[in-house]
């Protein structure tokens, strides 16, 4: 199954084909979910790739998970939430946001390239509610991954990355992020399929670039705009994927939310890229 994202066009629902969208969200006002100008799929910044290393915590071996642990989403959430942030950006088109995963205690954070593409300003809202300035350390548009550095922080909780090659269809997973700016949102589901070929428009400096394709983990855990860059985790609280896109049938003048078909970049691929970016 090859998936392709298509730009929105005018017309009725019946005239429009389903398409694949990346998961950068609009900014939320205090009263309602406000539609932001920035959609997170245009523009780009290719940062320097020679910054100090940001090591990713890797599980040393298989983790035994019993039935009660598998069902206890609250325990997974409690473990992982401190390692998830909201990434806020300002571009020439407006404001937008996504999610991110803490890599190091001193503020290295992983997100999607399309979240920070074209960003003139980046801030990060931490799990404790603080918002701090951040800068782009490096991006890899070809894999839709990026690393940013939060300024003046210490003592953050790095996420632990698991082995995505051990993920099986039917495994339970939890997605965490900031859909529509609702920071710290937790959803759960299963792995619906593996090795789905997902193709989305790429980004290059200031404009759309060539398309980006990767073999993704498919999940029915609810993923919506703003989840981009957030973790998909297993019952042991290990990151097995970075949420990046969903299948989204859209009507004229708007975008549908999650329909239970989401995609994440596998953690083993992510770790290879992060080692080059940071």
Please list the pLDDT of the chain residue by residue as tens digits (278 residues): 443 332 222 222 222 333 445 545 444 322 222 222 223 332 222 222 223 334 444 443 334 444 444 458 999 999 999 999 999 999 988 999 999 999 999 999 999 999 999 999 999 999 999 999 999 999 999 899 999 999 999 999 999 999 999 999 999 999 999 998 999 999 999 999 999 998 877 665 444 557 788 899 999 999 999 999 999 999 999 999 999 998 877 544 445 567 889 999 999 999 999 988 87
Look at residue 202 in the predicted model and tell me its pLDDT. 66
Domain covering 2-8+19-46+72-277, topology? Thrombin, subunit H (2.40.10)
SS3 at position 65: coil
Distance spanning both ends of the chain, measured CA to CA = 33
Q: Tell me the domain boundaries of the chain.
A: 2-8+19-46+72-277
Residue 118 near residue 147 (C-beta atoms within 8 A):
no
Query: Which residues are paired to 95 by β-bridges?
Result: 90
Distance between CA atoms of residues 173 and 235, nearest Å: 6
Distance between CA atoms of residues 99 and 255, nearest Å: 19
Residue 218 near residue 196 (C-beta atoms within 8 A):
yes
Look at residue 239 in the predicted model and tell me its pLDDT. 98
Residues contacting 119, CB < 8 A, separation 6+: 43, 45, 89, 90, 91, 136
Structure tokens at 192: 């619906």
Look at residue 67 in the predicted model and tell me its pLDDT. 45
DSSP state of 42: S
Sign of the CA dihedral running 65, 71, 77, 78: negative
Look at residue 72 in the predicted model and tell me its pLDDT. 87
Query: Structure pTM?
Result: 0.75
Distance between CA atoms of residues 3 and 142, nearest Å: 16
* Catalytic residue set: 114, 144, 228
């Amino acid at each position: 199954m090859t998936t392709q994202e298509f730009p929105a066009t005018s017309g009725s629902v019946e005239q429009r084909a389903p398409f694949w969208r990346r998961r950068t969200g609009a900014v939320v006002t205090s009263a309602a979910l406000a539609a932001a100008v920035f959609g997170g799929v245009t523009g780009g910044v290719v940062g320097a790739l020679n910054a100090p290393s940001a090591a990713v915590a890797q599980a040393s071996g298989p983790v035994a998970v019993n039935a009660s642990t598998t069902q206890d989403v609250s325990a997974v959430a409690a473990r992982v939430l401190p390692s998830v942030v909201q990434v806020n950006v300002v571009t020439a088109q407006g404001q937008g946001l996504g999610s991110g995963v803490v890599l190091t205690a001193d503020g290295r954070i992983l997100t999607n390239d399309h979240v920070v593409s074209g960003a003139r300003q980046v801030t990060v809202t931490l799990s404790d509610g603080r918002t701090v300035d951040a800068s782009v350390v490096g991006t890899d548009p070809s894999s839709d991954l990026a690393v940013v550095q939060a300024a003046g922080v210490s003592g953050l909780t790095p996420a632990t990355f698991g082995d995505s090659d051990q993920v099986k269809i039917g495994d339970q997973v939890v997605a965490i992020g900031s859909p529509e700016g609702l920071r710290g949102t937790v959803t759960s589901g299963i792995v619906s399929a593996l090795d789905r070929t997902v193709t989305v428009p790429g980004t290059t400096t200031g404009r759309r670039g060539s398309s980006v394709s990767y073999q993704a983990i498919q999940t029915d855990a609810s993923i919506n705009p703003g989840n981009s860059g957030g973790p998909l985790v297993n019952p042991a609280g290990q990151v097995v994927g970075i949420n990046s896109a969903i299948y989204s049938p859209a009507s004229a003048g708007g975008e549908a939310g999650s329909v239970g078909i989401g995609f994440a970049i596998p953690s083993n691929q992510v770790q290879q890229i992060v080692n080059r970016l940071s």
